[in-house]
Amino acid sequence: MSYLVLARKYRPSVFSSVSGQDHVTRTLANALQREKVVHAYLFTGPRGVGKTSVARILSKAINCQAPKNAEPCLECQTCKEIGAGTSLAVREIDGASHNSVENVRELMDSFKSLPPTGYKRKVYIIDEVHMLSISAFNALLKSLEEPPPHTVFILATTDVHKIPETVISRCQRHDFRALSLATIEARLQEVCAEEKIDAEPDALKLVARMADGSMRDAQTLLDRVQSFCSGVITAVETSRALGTVEQRVLYDIAHGIVARDTGVVLKHVSDIFSTGLDPAMLLREFVHFWREVFVAKVGGEAQLQALGLRADSTTELLRLVAPLEVVDVQDLWDVARDGADRALRSSYPRYGFEALVTRMATRQPVAQVGALLGQLLNSKVSDKAGAPRAPVGTSVSRRAEGESRPQVAAPVTNPSTAAAQVSTPQGPPSGGVFGWDEVVSFATASTTKVLLENLRRIKPVRCEVGVFEGTAPDFTATSVMREKEKVSALLDAFLEKRGIAAPRAWKIVIQKGPGAIDSSAKTASRVESDKEMQGHPAVQSLQKFFPGSKVEQVKAKD
């Protein structure tokens, strides 16, 4: 007797034995119990998840002579014939080889006949239905919309987007899902128990991961591994049989990357490829491993257990990520994904993988790169190129055009000369003297824009409590003298905020003369400042870090 492969031997025969598709099997079972079986079904989903198996179970349940809770009994003549594939009432059609209009016409001729004796309905299962031609789909439309009362269509496909919407709208659609790693692993353990196969849990986990959500692929791979191994199926022999990398090697590469040891990393890569490993499979396993590393850092032990990892694997992953920051782990995972994609598309995937692990091992920590950029971006422009930065507490005089240069405030030695200085004092006014720049700053939030602009154009000559004298351009002097009451109120509010008693009256004299802003001097100063800025070492370092960039403005920070 020929050997029956595991994928066929353990194919589901009842709804309850279908793994991971409860949302479909429950719906169909309830419809059978309530006698609400529709005339056309559409089963979609990835390969090997149970579409054709569920179609056969449904055909059995529809025609079973003694169903039990909507499940086929598997003992009556109809169930046995359908299970053996000899039933005349259930016809399975391959859409790839029967995709013409003539094939559909032949199929339509068979609709006229009644079901064989003992059967309730005729069932037509069309697998890979997306392979039908457009003409064939059009020929089938009328039968799908108004079929004979004794006919049921079950269409199965992996590419539902290739089916015309007119066909989809005439069917009850059920979407099958890719199976989870835990579901496939649990089913493989059941198969091993039935077959008396001794297999390590890590070996079954590797088989389940390689199946990529397909139960049929998982059972086929288990058949392959069983033939390769003698005795106990170990994780090491499973890796050799399937051409995958051992999990231990991935841990060694990861430790080398974390330790920034490119020699160790490249040695492990060389050892891997010396075994003839498929680069595409290695890259997929590498990305999957770094996903587990990322989950270990952001989710901890609980999330690793949710992924189905064993206790020893969880412990080692947590130990690996302990010295790393979250941003570094996320960056490594991003680099692994992007680099693996490029290597897979490359004509030299091995070289691409070597470049990937080298880049991961030599990358700078994200925090250090951020600190370096912060130092460059926050560098102040000194008065002279290469001059030391101003110490903490240095006063900054703001220019009208938004530029700034650090200036050290001179100590106040004489009230009369101090009043004429433009630099801002470091604290509250001393005695009866106050700084005009402080008044202008105070007026920013408490006066009109027109008056504020005029105040900025005044060059102070005398700033004492009760007396303010200054010079300004013709238009500014005239405008301010017209609004002396507003200026007096502003000065009273400023002194009140500083805790100084306001005078009974203010003597405000603004004479026509040179103001605080000279357009020609401003232009010359800006040109000079631009030259100093471009020649500053910090600006030059920033331009080297970002080639082709142009620094337009630098603001000093206190």
pLDDT tens for the chain, 558 residues long, are 578 899 999 999 999 999 999 999 999 999 999 989 999 999 999 999 999 999 999 999 999 998 888 999 999 999 999 988 889 899 999 988 888 888 888 888 888 788 888 899 999 999 999 999 998 998 888 888 888 888 999 999 999 999 999 999 999 999 999 998 889 999 999 999 999 999 988 889 889 988 888 999 999 999 999 988 888 898 888 888 887 777 888 889 999 999 999 999 999 998 888 877 888 888 888 998 999 999 998 888 888 877 777 777 888 889 898 888 888 898 899 999 999 999 989 889 999 999 999 999 998 877 655 556 556 666 544 443 444 444 433 333 333 333 444 333 334 434 333 333 333 333 334 346 778 888 888 888 777 878 888 888 888 888 888 888 889 888 888 888 888 888 888 888 888 888 788 787 888 888 888 877 544 444 444 555 566 666 777 777 777 766 766 666 665 554
Position 148, amino acid: P
Which pLDDT does position 307 carry in this prediction?
Answer: 77
Which pLDDT does position 145 carry in this prediction?
Answer: 85
Domains in the chain, number: 4
Residues 357 and 456 in one domain: no
Range of 52's domain? Answer: 6-175
Please indicate, yes or no, if residue 95 is contained in any of the structural domains: yes
State how far the alpha carbon of 441 is from the alpha carbons of 359, 445, 491, 494, in Å: 52, 8, 12, 10
Residues 56 and 158 in one domain: yes
Closest to 83 (Cα-Cα) out of 106, 100, 64 = 64
Write the CATH number for 46.
3.40.50.300
- Distance CA(218)–CA(216), nearest Å, equals 5
Please indicate, yes or no, if residue 531 is contained in any of the structural domains: no
Which pLDDT does position 421 carry in this prediction?
Answer: 38
Alpha helices in 309-362 (DSSP H): 311-321, 326-345, 349-362
Residues 168 and 186 in one domain: no
Residues facing 44 on adjacent strands: 157, 175
Note the pTM of the prediction, 2 decimals: 0.60
286 Cβ neighbours under 8 A, 6+ residues apart: 245, 250, 253, 336, 340, 353
- Distance CA(391)–CA(403), nearest Å, equals 19
Residues 265 and 203 in one domain: no
Please indicate, yes or no, if residue 437 is contained in any of the structural domains: yes
Please indicate, yes or no, if residue 488 is contained in any of the structural domains: yes
Residues 154 and 16 in one domain: yes
Write the CATH number for 284.
1.20.272.10
Please indicate, yes or no, if residue 388 is contained in any of the structural domains: no
Residues 299 and 448 in one domain: no
Crossing angle (nearest 10°) for helices 201-211 and 215-228: 130
How many C-beta atoms surround the C-beta of residue 208 within 10 A? Answer: 28
Please indicate, yes or no, if residue 16 is contained in any of the structural domains: yes
State how far the alpha carbon of 346 is from the alpha carbons of 29, 117, 155, 343, 353, in Å: 49, 61, 39, 5, 10
Residues 185 and 171 in one domain: no
Residues 39 and 146 in one domain: yes
CA dihedral 545, 549, 553, 558 (to 10 degrees): -10
